Amino acid sequence: MTINNNTRLIGLIGSPVEHSLSPSIHNALYDTFDMNFVYMTFDVKANELQKAVEGMCALSFAGFNVTIPYKQEILKFLDDIDEEAKMIGAVNTVTLHNGNLKGYNTDGMGFIEGLKRMGFNPLNKDVAIIGAGGASRAICVYLLKEGVRCIYLINRTHQKSLELAKEFNSQYNSEIIIPIEKQELKCANLDLIVNTTPVGMWPQISGNPLEDFKFCAHTVVVDIIYNPKETRLLQEARRQGCTVQNGIDMLIGQALESIKLWTGIDISYNHCKKILEGNIL
């Protein structure tokens, strides 16, 4: 990687940021594809978000990513927010053009691309989503955009599923999102199950959000966890004949969508995965 007078900066702001895989992913790609960008992380203190944003504008950053705990708070500093990100209520990617800041959420975009790569088209499909936090909201919004038939929503705190369903159903003027208790979930008509909770993630890898569940082989099961590469949920679903996908697709997918927004360059997923696998992932 050569850094010269034309090198543009791209930032990740959040706190903490030291465990993020994003700098390794982005810089490996910029290097391989000869893109004159450098990706750096910035641990921003609670009362300094505005200053950090102003600094990145003053220094003509090409754009930046936003992570915990600023994905919601960043909204108030933006000039424009993409429609889906507005509905999700969280932004993880900001573009910067002539001082104009526009926010997007590429998590849901990356997730949908991952499904489509498996040949799964969400149109008119029945889906179950476990979890009702930020990742669940992003995935719900993009599945709604793709025209799913219904989303069964299961969450440890049932009240949160009720609230999320009420909010999104009223925006879509529909009853597409159906909050249910875990024990009510039956595989028969499910085309897709998605885990958005940290249950099963390293170091508590023995966790399974659907312990003792009987899967149907036609159901596709996605876990957005990428460490371990195969969670107990995915092991069990695969053992029962399901097609499964881990969180690496969404992790790479959201990075590629952000790069597309900042640079206009569309990097192929498979090429990217080859570069990162065994090295960074």
Q: Give catalytic residues, as residue numbers.
A: 71
Which residues, 6 or more positions from 20, have their beta carbon under 8 angstroms from its beta carbon?
A: 12, 14, 41, 67
Residue 164 lies near ligand ATR (rule: CB under 6 A): no
Peptide bond into 69 cis (omega under 30): yes
Report CA Rg, the chain.
Answer: 19
Residue 246 lies near ligand ATR (rule: CB under 6 A): no
Q: For ligand ATR, which residue of 157, 171, 174, 270 counts as binding (CB under 6 A)?
A: 157
Closest CA to 155 of 136, 175, 176, 127: 136
Residue 136 lies near ligand ATR (rule: CB under 6 A): yes
Residue 60 lies near ligand ATR (rule: CB under 6 A): no
Residue 148 lies near ligand ATR (rule: CB under 6 A): no
Residue 159 lies near ligand ATR (rule: CB under 6 A): no
Region binding ligand ATR by CB under 6 A among candidate stretches 17-25, 126-134, 183-191, 249-257? 126-134
Instruction: Check residue 73 and report its DSSP letter.
Output: G
Residue 182 lies near ligand ATR (rule: CB under 6 A): no
The least CB distance from residue 134 to ligand ATR, in Å, is: 3
Between 51 and 156, whose beta carbon lies closer to ligand ATR?
Answer: 156
Element (H, E) at 102: strand 100-104
Is residue 200 within 8 Å of 233, Cβ to Cβ?
yes
Closest CA to 94 of 68, 69, 61: 61
Q: For ligand ATR, which residue of 85, 88, 194, 199 counts as binding (CB under 6 A)?
A: 199
Region binding ligand ATR by CB under 6 A among candidate stretches 49-57, 154-162, 174-182, 264-272? 154-162
Is residue 161 within 8 Å of 153, Cβ to Cβ?
yes
**Which residues contact ligand ATR (rule: CB under 6 A)?**
131-136, 155-157, 160, 196-199
